[in-house]
Structure 1
């Protein structure tokens, strides 16, 4: 949890205010900035979908005059975006969710004033082609086809170009088109964080484990089913009946229809689980942990946490304190009941995407795309995702 905020702060703690202001001037002077990159730009502006304030869908604005991003650190690359996708976090960020914490990540020295994040480009997923590399980038070169998930505190991918740290980038799976590839990175890395990094499951220890996935038909859920199934787990998926065919095609062994009756009652007829991934939150947390095997190392991981909401409502200091108290008390409570309680968050990682790409090219992971929109229809794509009840991902063809 703390890692979500600390990495960037630790990296920049030694940077003084004067250096920060100097870097801002560098951004405005592309001719100076490009000295740390391998190529020179020919364009200065690009088309993009941006917001100038937080709000409902009408705050989305198309512009032809967004400044093309520049390389400000020698480990960065510029990607020409071929495809992106809309995630629930994009809809939430459009409305202002997480702004307090994300702005602190954007500016750990707190030099900028409120509103300086605008115009803000949303969009976390990208599949495209490397256009330019910083001098420290050794693994990629212009022309490489890559994919990545851009952290929420950075400018996003609903634009012609995006700048990403080299360690957040991976070669695109050869078996996928750009549109297919763009459906995976953010949800895949979110699920990977919960299952592998926090939950401790991998291809060596997952065989025979009983896994329960709550909210199984969305982007994170459909990836999670496939990855734990590829590792040999027995998977029970909770979703609606109309998604049962999808989750079974992806490998689910059992399906619980949350619309046909109380999920808790339906689960009582099943054997207890070794691992639960919760994409739903709310009241599920009050009963889901009762279905874990006690005193066997069984783990419940939720992706629905009050972390960003606490910071939005209480401020940085009080929000962090409240968050620490909440997770600490819940972890201790469930530890004494014989199970592990954990929170998980998205973590950008090129190396993890490398592993995921291998699973994709081996045929063990397939993209699940519900609908694809052209770049001109980004607002309609937002409304689609905002409506909920996803059956996979909503993709944007940028090129």
Structure 2
């Protein structure tokens, strides 16, 4: 389904994007429809910092299709995540700069003005030449890679292989709460943890941090696959977590959470969304010598590259993961790091699960496009009970 035609592309000064075929014999348009504007409304940052760096503009550059596998999405709603707070402050800037495509940054070679927002639900406006599986008007959702311009804008350009048709049963507002956390959980549980719908029955899984975006999604997905799920959360979130299907819920505010967890049967998989001190005691909760895995989404990779530079940071990261993996394998358990991995194919499967009633959106609060700084402040407080969403198209159309 996800086709890619190897052609060299070139943007002409007229603003129309054309592609040169591999043999150089002909030029073909990259888009299925012409660009409608040159500017759009967006929230941007011009430097890294606190909430004061967020700036609203009506003159953000309209996104352009540079490659034949890209699409432009008209944004109806955008989801916010802790990574947006971190990126606003410059976290991971060194690695993101290495990953950014020169065609998608400004002429000075800077990422600024930078648009944040990693989740989008909207409709296809334009398609590249090699995107036969979408057409203008299709309702879609996507998780956007951190090194690309984000969804806090009227339009966003993304790779077609990162996009999926939106679940028919969800509004754009609800749909925007899922893509980033869904593919993050999918990557950690399926790609790294090794569980899937065919082998999860009766597996015991512990989710540390069960009330946030990744946790609420992971609980539902694992329960739909037949796993036994234990989750940690605060007392205020216990009802939500149980309602999502968690078999056991441990309140971390009522005493040492590790003491309570040690009274339970050991686990086949632990998904750690919190990090910090949890790593010290959580690995000991796994079944030894049974292929059990501890997967943490809190890694030092970006921090290392920010502080030490790319080469030294990657070297330090490799040493750290190797040391920890070796230390824990001698105890009969596997230590792994989980990472976000955008995938339209994963979202295809997740969309089906949503429409079958196995996954539901958990939205805590919704903000209009004019109140993006307030939405950031909400996410920055932590203690999430679901997702924070920003509506975009609805307000622009009123």
TM range (shorter): over 0.9
Structure 1 residues 181 and 219, CA, compared in 2 at 3 Å: closer, same or farther?
A: same
The reply on whether 1:98 has 2:83 as its aligned counterpart is: no
Q: Is the 8 A contact 1:168 1:348 kept in 2?
A: yes
Residue in 2 that maps onto 1:220: 214
Q: Is the 8 A contact 2:289 2:332 kept in 1?
A: yes
**Separation (CA, whole Å) in 2 of partners of 1:45 and 1:395:** 24
Residue in 2 that maps onto 1:372: 366
Residue in 1 that maps onto 2:23: none
Q: Deviations over 1:312-335 (max 9, x none)?
A: 000000000000000011111111
The reply on whether 1:202 has 2:196 as its aligned counterpart is: yes
- Consecutive unaligned residues of structure 1, counting only runs of 5 or more, are 1-10
Aligned-pair distance for 1:30?
Answer: 1.7
Q: Deviations over 1:247-305 (max 9, x none)?
A: 00000011100010001111121110011000000010011000000000111000000
More helix by share: 1
Residue in 1 that maps onto 2:15: 30
Give the alignment of 1:208-247 within 5 angstroms.
Answer: 208-247=202-241
The reply on whether 1:58 has 2:43 as its aligned counterpart is: no
Residue in 1 that maps onto 2:277: 283
Residue in 2 that maps onto 1:193: 187
**Which aligned segments of 4 or more residues in structure 1 are displaced greater than 6 angstroms?**
111-115
Q: Is the 8 A contact 1:33 1:71 kept in 2?
A: no
**Separation (CA, whole Å) in 2 of partners of 1:28 and 1:184:** 38
**Separation (CA, whole Å) in 1 of partners of 2:106 and 2:57:** 24
The reply on whether 1:85 has 2:79 as its aligned counterpart is: yes
- Tell me, what secondary structure is at the counterpart of 2:16? helix
Aligned-pair distance for 1:31?
Answer: 2.2
Give the alignment of 1:32-47 within 5 angstroms.
Answer: 32-33=17-18, 35-47=29-41
Give the alignment of 1:1-399 within 5 angstroms.
Answer: 26=11, 29-33=14-18, 35-107=29-101, 116-399=110-393
Structure 1 residues 108 and 46, CA, compared in 2 at 3 Å: closer, same or farther?
A: closer
- Tell me, what secondary structure is at the counterpart of 1:211? strand
Q: Is the 8 A contact 1:27 1:70 kept in 2?
A: no
Structure 1 residues 124 and 106, CA, compared in 2 at 3 Å: closer, same or farther?
A: same
Q: Is the 8 A contact 2:205 2:270 kept in 1?
A: yes
**Separation (CA, whole Å) in 1 of partners of 2:123 and 2:12:** 23
Q: Deviations over 1:29-82 (max 9, x none)?
A: 522459211110221110000000000000000000011101000010000000
**Separation (CA, whole Å) in 2 of partners of 1:197 and 1:283:** 25
Q: Is the 8 A contact 1:27 1:72 kept in 2?
A: no
- Tell me, what secondary structure is at the counterpart of 1:130? strand
**Separation (CA, whole Å) in 2 of partners of 1:347 and 1:53:** 26
- Tell me, what secondary structure is at the counterpart of 1:183? coil
Q: Is the 8 A contact 2:106 2:112 kept in 1?
A: no
Structure 1 residues 39 and 256, CA, compared in 2 at 3 Å: closer, same or farther?
A: same
Aligned residues: 379
**Separation (CA, whole Å) in 2 of partners of 1:378 and 1:115:** 27
TM-score when normalising by structure 2: 0.92
